[in-house]
Amino acid sequence: MASLWMRAQKVFKRSRPSGLPTEAAPEMGSGGAEKGYRIPAGKGPHSVGCTDLMTGNAAEGSFLRLYYPSCSDTDTEEAPWIPDKEYYQGLSDFLNVYRAVGERLFQYYVGSVTCPAKSNAAFKPGEKYPLLVFSHGLGAFRTIYSAICIEMASQGFLVAAVEHRDESASATYFCKRKADSEPEEESASSVEKEWIYYRKLKAGEEERGLRHRQVQQRAQECIKVLNLILKINSGEEVTNVLNSDFDWNHLKDSVDTSRIAVMGHSFGGATVIESLSKEIRFRCGIALDAWMLPVGDDTYQSSVQQPLLFINSEKFQWASNVLKMKKLSCNDTNKKMITIKGSVHQSFPDFTFVSGEIIGKFFKLKGEIDPNEAIDISNRASLAFLQKHLSLKKDFDKWDSLVEGIGPNVISGTNIDLSPAE
């Protein structure tokens, strides 16, 4: 394995802001599950299940992982963290590592990692749950923010983690019918996966134009997922093209349709902003270490009326990016910004939890703050913000001070010097 790692090292290059490590992901597990590193379980009163839903037989359909409150007596197994080897290939492409090398390294270090949610566990009925739509970062996909999504589900949310098909995910797929299958045939063997991999910038291509087009598609995908969940809630039959034992009919009348929010990290933060500007049913949004480049100029012209919380890391942001956030939130007391001290851009995805201390620090998968403390601050501030702006009857207001940037390891606003350069 050491020789494979040395070969991988030689082809690593720096990349743009992303939802996953831009350097040295192959070593990120550093023993992973074998050394006891775990993605943290939810701290709320609900057990958590997760299941995947895909509609349609083309890229224009929807693909999501739903995290949800589940019945606690389930004996089902935890879901795999990265469910298909093709995601390893996509991560390798994104990180400029030979696929053969990257796939073996990812499989070796994180192939056995699971997330602390029970796969296809029985849904817990009897309540109307608020809905949170989650958008992943550049080069990421639906499963690698499970620490955030599971915590929200454990606190009583339905969390629909979208997998974007705008070629910004490291890998994703849709299911299409095999050419030689019979029209009436509906078995799993009659369909095949059509993979879509991350698209790199072409020579001479201007990045802002590409990212703006992608963020428009991403916002539409978030709205499609919202519509899909509400359709299920109303009792309409939805065909899941994936082979799953989960009964989506159990979600009928389970969504609190007046309490819907959108959340995302990095490119997903930009997606939050665009989604808010296009869909008023999203009553508020949370942008984690948002990358503002993709956001269109017209979006700054008072088109985001809903409350918005920016949660930034200490080490990622820069002045022009933060000034765009400030421009969006100017003179609006319902738009807040906080910064988590000692955190890095990778403090939000799950990679920070499955890497050892040395590797995690060296490749900036971990900051100076303990990863569990960083994610707790982010999650608690998010819950307090959601309680206020979704009018929830919970006790999340005990963390209201975090939204104001008051408390250990959190500051109000930004640590970035925004004064004009002389």
**Which of 93, 289, 350, 376 is flagged as catalytic?**
289
CA distances from residue 396 to 83, 181, 402 in whole angstroms, order as listed: 33, 52, 11
d(CA 93, CA 197): 8
Burial of 334 (C-beta count, 10 Å sphere; 0-12/13-18/19+) = middle
Please confirm, yes or no, whether 378 is among the known catalytic residues: no
Which of 117, 120, 112, 113 lies closest to 41 in space, CA to CA?
117
**Which of 136, 164, 212, 345 is flagged as catalytic?**
345
CA 396 to chain centre: 22
Please confirm, yes or no, whether 289 is among the known catalytic residues: yes
The CA-CA-CA angle for residues 416, 323, 21, to 5°, reads 65
For 178, how many CA atoms within 13 A lie in the half-sphere containing its CB? 12
Which of 370, 380, 138 lies closest to 264 in space, CA to CA?
138
CB 26 within 8 A of CB 101: yes
Which of 251, 234, 219 lies closest to 53 in space, CA to CA?
251
The CA-CA-CA angle for residues 151, 153, 154, to 5°, reads 65
d(CA 264, CA 346): 13
**Which of 30, 62, 146, 266 is flagged as catalytic?**
266
Q: Which residues are catalytic?
A: 266, 289, 345
